[in-house]
Amino acid sequence: KALLAKHGVALAETAEKRGVLLNYEAAVAGGIPVIKTMREAMAGNSVTRVFGILNGTCNYILTRMEAEGLSFDDCLKDAQRLGYAEADPTFDIEGHDTAHKLSILTSLAFGTRIAANDIYMEGISNISQADIRAAGDLGYRIKLLGVAQRTESGIEQRVHPTMVPTASVIAQVHGVTNAVAIETDI
């Protein structure tokens, strides 16, 4: 995914010149066929916003923190023990992985390329049990979201912990599962 986020346009052009397909469905949101959906089913629509949970490790940690009242550090250690998180989890927990995936989705959704390093990123390493409880008391759940949307000034992209209403579909995504929502003009 990092390779695609940085060099996707050049790779796609090279593949087209050589008459081969560049398949990268698994690079974003695991088993969700979001790339195919955006390329084929959404072709006649104008995307206004794409957002989602794009990193299973972060979602696992936040899910465990909320469900079991555990600290961030305890959940991270468990994620590492289970193989969800690397020995150095920085790429995941600080939002870099989500930013790379968001960069790929933005390219498909809006036909523009914004480097992952240019996306605002805030990870989950500073989320505390107090944050989780406060969100819950207000009827929200904290999720690390990647968001790209069309604004009057262009395409805005960001990755950050977000309070989402517990009744929303995206709030119902737990564990290492990913989810992507696409909003269009229709």
Residue numbers annotated as active site? 101
Distance CA 87, CA 177 (A): 21
Pair of tokens at residue 59: 């979602």
Q: Write the burial class of residue 104 (CB in 10 Å: 0-12 exposed, 13-18 middle, 19+ buried).
A: buried
**Angle, CA 165 vertex, CA 162 and CA 168 arms, to 5°:** 110
DSSP code at position 119: S
**Cα Rg for the chain, rounded, in angstroms?**
17
- The closest of 128, 15, 10 to 73, measured between CA atoms, is 128
Counting every residue written for the chain, the total comes to: 186
Please state, in angstroms and rounded to a whole number, the distance separating the CA atoms of residues 120 and 160. 8
8 A C-beta contact, residue 63 and residue 175: yes
Quick one: residue 55, left, alpha or beta (phi over 0 = left, psi -120 to 50 = alpha)?
Answer: beta
